[in-house]
């Protein structure tokens, strides 16, 4: 099983090693600076070091990472979504975010698999609310088409998948669809229950694009699912969000190949191969 330490070392090499070695000192510095206590790392760490704790008597989350630009975009996205169902940013600095902690913080992962379609219904409500957020003036969020340019490179992926992804991407980008601010990684674990505010989102990537692009991350989580379950999700997303099924299939296919590429870039084992295979069979 790949660990947080392995991920950091695979992605950042010697820079990552130095950062990991200095991490306890940085945590102590931030705890003192922001009056934080009882800091404990969360389970299942991935790209960032995330701790839960308290600022005086208020529950908080401290998030630290080497992707400083990504954390800055996350801060901007959370602020943009602040009145539309996102946790609050309490403080920030280079490579660090101090955030509100959703309580009790149960994620939609707990709905899988017995209440899978209920989780889709909740996700649809969250998506609808998020996409009502006004786009900040002079924003610097990338567009989904910028992300998809990486598909033009040569990758260690079966050629028929790449060729189909490029062909489908070209067709989709010709469609004139309005862009909204997307979370960009809206899977089950990034939608948390809060007693006072309802369902709140965490960990947004912050990217512009058509609303349909928000569905992908949810589609292949929290773990490998059957073709039947995947189709049921697509049908319900289509019904609730009023998006044609073929558009969902097409965008999800392109984004599944993009996810495959990103894993290769990060020297990780690709996690979305199975869903790429299913979606390849389903698209026209």
Q: Where in the chain is the domain with CATH 3.90.1200.10?
A: 105-282
Q: What topology is assigned to 4-101 in CATH?
A: Phosphorylase Kinase; domain 1 (3.30.200)
Partners of 181 in the β-ladder = 208
Task: Tell me the pLDDT tens digit for each residue of 7-17.
Answer: 999 999 999 99
pLDDT surpassing 60 at residue 244: yes
Task: Tell me the pLDDT tens digit for each residue of 60-74.
Answer: 999 999 999 999 999
Q: How buried is residue 260: exposed, middle or buried, by Cβ count under 10 Å (0-12/13-18/19+)?
A: buried
Q: Where in the chain is the domain with CATH 3.30.200.20?
A: 4-101
The CATH homologous superfamily to which domain 105-282 belongs is Aminoglycoside phosphotransferase (APH), C-terminal lobe (3.90.1200.10)
Three-class SS string for 45-58? CCCCEEEEEEECCE
Task: Tell me the pLDDT tens digit for each residue of 160-213.
Answer: 999 999 999 999 999 989 999 999 999 999 999 999 999 999 999 999 999 999
């Amino acid at each position: 099983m790949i660990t947080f330490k392995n991920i950091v070392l695979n992605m950042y090499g010697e820079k990552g090693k130095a950062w990991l070695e200095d991490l306890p000192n940085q945590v102590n510095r931030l705890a003192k600076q922001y009056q934080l206590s009882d800091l404990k790392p969360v389970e299942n760490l991935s790209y960032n070091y995330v701790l839960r704790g308290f600022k005086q008597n208020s529950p908080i989350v401290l998030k630290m990472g080497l992707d400083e630009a990504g954390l800055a975009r996350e801060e901007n996205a959370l602020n943009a979504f602040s009145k539309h169902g996102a946790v609050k940013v309490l403080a920030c600095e280079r490579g660090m975010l101090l955030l509100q902690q959703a309580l009790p913080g149960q994620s939609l992962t707990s709905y899988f698999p017995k209440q899978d379609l209920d989780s889709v219904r909740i996700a649809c409500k969250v998506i609808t609310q998020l996409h009502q957020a006004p786009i900040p003036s002079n924003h610097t969020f990338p567009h989904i088409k910028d992300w998809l340019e990486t598909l033009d490179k040569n990758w260690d992926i079966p050629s028929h998948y790449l060729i189909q992804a490029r062909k489908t991407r070209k067709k989709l980008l010709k469609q004139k669809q309005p862009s909204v601010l997307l979370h960009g990684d809206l899977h089950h674990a990034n939608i948390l229950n809060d007693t006072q505010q309802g369902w709140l989102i965490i960990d947004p990537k912050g990217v512009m694009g058509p609303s349909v692009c928000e569905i992908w991350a949810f589609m292949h989580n929290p773990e490998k699912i059957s073709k039947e379950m995947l189709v049921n999700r697509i049908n319900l997303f289509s019904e609730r969000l009023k998006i044609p099924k073929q558009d969902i299939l097409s965008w999800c296919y392109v984004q599944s190949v993009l996810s495959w590429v990103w894993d290769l870039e990060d020297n990780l084992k690709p996690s979305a191969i199975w869903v790429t295979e299913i979606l390849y069979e389903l698209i026209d």
